[in-house]
Amino acid sequence: MTASTGSSASSLTSSVPAASVASSAASAVRIEDVSKRFRIYHHRNQSLKGAVLQRGRGVYEDFWALKDITFDIPEGKTFGLMGHNGSGKSTLLKCIAKILAPDSGSITARGRMAAMLEVGSGFHPELSGRENIFLNGAILGMSRKEIEAKFDDIVDFSGVGEFIDQPVKNYSSGMYVRLGFSVSIHVEPEILLVDEVLAVGDMEFQERCMDKFAEFREDGRTVVVVSHGLEQMRTFCDEVAWLDHGRLKEVGPAPEVIDKYSDVTHGAKKVKEGQGTRFGSGEAQITRIELLDRRGRPATSMRTGDEATIRLHYRCEETIEKPVFGCSIDTREGIFAWGLHGLDDGFQPERIEPGEGTVDISIPAMMLRPGAYLISGSIQPWQLSSVIDAYQRATAFDIASGPRMESGGLVALGAHFERITPPRPMVKVAKNS
């Protein structure tokens, strides 16, 4: 299983190399040769005497938060900016929002823009939630009539209804975020900028955000999001840009770039004498992953609905108490299709000792639709505080059409049409075989 690994929120507008920035879709935002420099002072003149003695000069060094960044953000997509802390993600987002001006290069955007950048930004702490809706809405370019028409929807989405007439200085950070986000999205911008808004707030709010992002995409709007949550990014981003120490490392389809970033972050290494990558502390390793058919024979191809077994071969270097095994299946494109964790299934050996062994995962019916897939496996300590071994994209297999087929999607559910009321005679239609 691929391991993954929160910044703030408020209101205001095939993987390719970094150098390749052309997009087949129209660009919502074009970033060309953008660089941003900050001065880090090691000594500032705090007095007139100091200024005279230092001849008016403070001691500083230049820090390039962004250096020669060039890429396009396509229109109507959800686009992610990712990288480690200090990589330049938030700085770039502020440049796009025109909060910061780049020292060189240019950023052009098409359409009305709104942003969620810092908790409570644009809110007056002494004013109530109601008053701040009107204040923030006006700052974002909404007329009073527009705000009044959308007021109830803003409050409902934020979930702060009973506190709407309380000063926002009494709000929790989550309430700040929810209200600020709600105002921003109801501006109905063509481009929405979001900095770690999903790091704050409960699961229900996060789901509402996901639904709203989906609506934006359906409406042809563009969302640009900064997040450290890789699986979140994988779920809702179409494309991502990976920044590293202020430079663009890669830009492209989300699953591919996120996988590469995850490998680098976790120090994943290419597996010798096989495919895939691995990372972990190494007290035990998954040496091989097999896919077996219903007769226990190794298989590289199956049909939708076939019985199967995934066998994890492991080698243990020392005794491990209460290990937790995991297994997952992804498409070749990197879309997460299925996963099972030992704790979810009530499967946790008391220990594994030095030597070799296997773990079998039984699948009564492989209900994946036709396509190419990859299997990953993992071993973690019982606290789940680290990774002993993660063997990613270790084994490839294909799914072919089975006796029962369904029209689309990633999985086959074994579904069928049951009845119609009132009853109607059926046309004789040949079933897919």
> Which CATH code, of 3.30.420.10, 3.40.462.10, 3.40.50.300, 3.40.710.10, is assigned to 16-41+59-265?
3.40.50.300
161 touches 155 (CB < 8 A): yes
10 touches 123 (CB < 8 A): yes
Give dist(CA 106, CA 135) in Å, integer. Answer: 30
- Domain positions in the chain are 16-41+59-265, 269-400
153 touches 230 (CB < 8 A): no
Average pLDDT, the chain: 84
Please give, one letter per residue, the 3-state secondary structure of 220-266: CCEEEEECCCHHHHHHHCCEEEEEECCEEEEEEEHHHHHHHHHHHHC
Instruction: For 202-238, write each residue's pLDDT tens digit.
Output: 677 777 777 887 888 888 899 999 987 777 787 778 9
Residue 254: CB atoms within 10 A of its CB come to 25
- Reported CATH class of domain 269-400: mainly beta
374 pLDDT band (50/70/90 cuts)? Answer: very high
Task: Tell which wins on pLDDT, 398 or 47.
Answer: 398
Residue 267: CB atoms within 10 A of its CB come to 10
Residue 119: CB atoms within 10 A of its CB come to 22
Q: Residues 334-360: what's their mean pLDDT?
A: 92
Q: Residues 301-307: what's their mean pLDDT?
A: 93
Q: Residues 64-83: what's their mean pLDDT?
A: 94
Q: Which two tokens stand for residue 81?
A: 């900016």
Model confidence at 390: pLDDT above 90: yes
The model scores a pTM over 0.85: no
pLDDT score of 4: 38
Scanning the structure block, which residue is given the tokens 């500083």? 60
Q: Residues 25-45: what's their mean pLDDT?
A: 83
Instruction: For 260-289, write each residue's pLDDT tens digit.
Output: 888 888 777 888 777 889 999 999 999 999
> Tell me, what amino acid is at 378?
S
Model confidence at 62: pLDDT above 60: yes
Highest mean pLDDT among 65-79, 120-134, 159-173, 406-420: 65-79
The CA-atom distances, in angstroms, between 87 and each of 91, 257, 300, 408 are 9, 16, 41, 39
Q: Which of 35-44, 214-223, 307-316, 380-389 has the lowest mean pLDDT?
A: 35-44
